[in-house]
Amino acid sequence: MKKIFIDYHPKRVCVAMTENNELKEYYVEKATKPKIVGNIYKGKVVNTLQGMKAAFVNIGLEKNAFLYAGETLVDKTTLGDGALVMPQKLNVSPGDRIMCQVVKDYFGTKGVRISQNISLPGRLVVIMPQMDYVGISHKISDEARRDALLKLVKENCPAGVGFIIRTAAQNADDADIVKEMNSLVQKWKSIVQSYKTAQDGDVVYEEGDLIFRTIRDILDSDIDRIIVNNEIVARDLRQSLVEIYGDRDIVELYTGTENLFTYYNLQSQISKLIKRKVILKNGAYIVIDRTEALTAIDVNTGKYVGENDLEKTFLNTNFLAAEEIAKQLRLRNIGGIVIVDFIDMELEESRKKLLAAFEKELKKDRVRTSKPVMTTLGLVEVTRKKTRSSVYDLLLSECPYCQGDGFVFSEEYVIMRIREALMNLMSDEDPRSVIVTANPDVYNKIFALRYLERECKTIWKGKRIYIIPDALLHREKFSLSPTNESVLTLPENAKLLY
């Protein structure tokens, strides 16, 4: 049973799709960071890179957008090899005004990527108003239905306008398909008119919000329920779904006081999406690490000892890992290069079985993912299309302490820094007493391992050095307060350093 859960808040919308109560897809959209992929702008060309068939275009964002010949929002791989050939020449010059569409969001320090090949997706078809081409998703395998759909679209397609038939059209009524085609044509005409009157950097078409895109891209006849926690959203959904489900009402309004995701036991699954370690069903686990260039995933047997046949044990664990990795790529929306270090297996037959199983799991992904290949080092490589921000970007922010490094200085290193600061202070001011405030971890380590004992008995002999633990102080931080007072007022937890 498939369900869609929508947790609506004016500042943030979260959508989760489950199958048999297991989280399969998860999306977040913040009001402070709206999605811009699919938006159409009136841009001004700033600079051209003819050798790269590319240009930088000002579309009113913080950074200039990168325009590359041949890019499009359309996933060409869903149409079969070589079915759709995009223009490879870039006929623009600095100062030109162009209509362009965002095809890739910000990633790290990189700006957005744009295309002049406009496409507008509907639930059943995608219009490509500047291309004379009609294609169909390869996931529609029934030849008779493919031929009928292609004939229908070609007969109702305006001259010079292209369409791609989406998988959802397979079971749709012909009248609904034609109706959506006409609606998309009218939408395109409206965009053209808006472009004519727009200023440089203006948005001439804005993609719908997350809820709208959910209905368009995820919703299918196999969705049993849509559960939402906002009455207005529930009402709008019911109106939108009449064309798909008729009198059947699949929208359910949640009115409980507990958080929607918590009530349906989804929050615990969502919280795990940022964890490096993912436990498999048999006790083995995978570790997911992100870098600037790629995502590395390591497979470990963990507690799983399996059977007497070591090869079979490794293969079974790798099968489970392949299934979980494909699931995590979707859930976390990991894009770009992915390198997987599966458990080494001796037999070539086992490696082929693993690659086939992994490829089968990856095909369940709605986002384009390459066929997995094994490198000469025995690592498996795949690439997944980047379009929008990953769950890491949406749920996490850079650590203010380690600036994203993922590490902080050890207690021993901080103690050595305290020693250095004390030595400088004694040399410059020669105070009678010093009060050192430090993190409790550093405080405990100083006394447990008797750090600085030698200095107190030699170069600091006769000095009074007190250490005070402060739980609110970050491990790397400390402070020194010199004084020449003979009587000190100190807290109870202050301790004399030897």
DSSP state for residue 133 in the 8-state scheme = -
Report the amino acid identity of residue 418: I
The answer, as to whether pTM is greater than 0.75, is no
For residue 325, the Cα-to-chain-centroid distance in whole angstroms is 14
Q: Read off the tokens for 448.
A: 């447990």
Q: Read off φ and ψ for residue 435, nearest 5 degrees.
A: -105, 120
pLDDT lower than 70: segments of the chain: 74-88, 108-109, 221, 243-247, 304-307
How much is the pLDDT for 301?
86
Report whether 116 contacts 100 (CB < 8 A).
yes
491 by DSSP, 3-state: which? Answer: coil
d(CA 201, CA 40): 10
How much is the pLDDT for 408?
86
- The CA dihedral of 377, 371, 28, 269, to the nearest 10 degrees, is -70
Report whether 170 contacts 197 (CB < 8 A).
no
How much is the pLDDT for 104?
86
- The string of pLDDT tens digits covering residues 64-114 is 999 988 777 766 555 554 456 666 678 888 999 999 999 888 776 678 899
Give per-residue burial for 78-96: e unless 16+ CB within 10 Å, then b.
bbeeeebebeeebebeeee
Residue 395, classified by CB atoms within 10 Å of its CB into exposed (0-12), middle (13-18) or buried (19+), is: middle
How much is the pLDDT for 244?
64
d(CA 457, CA 463): 10
- The string of pLDDT tens digits covering residues 326-341 is 999 999 999 999 999 9
496 by DSSP, 3-state: which? Answer: strand
How much is the pLDDT for 298?
97
Report whether 387 contacts 103 (CB < 8 A).
yes
How much is the pLDDT for 344?
93
Handedness of CA 281, 283, 289, 294 (dihedral sign): negative
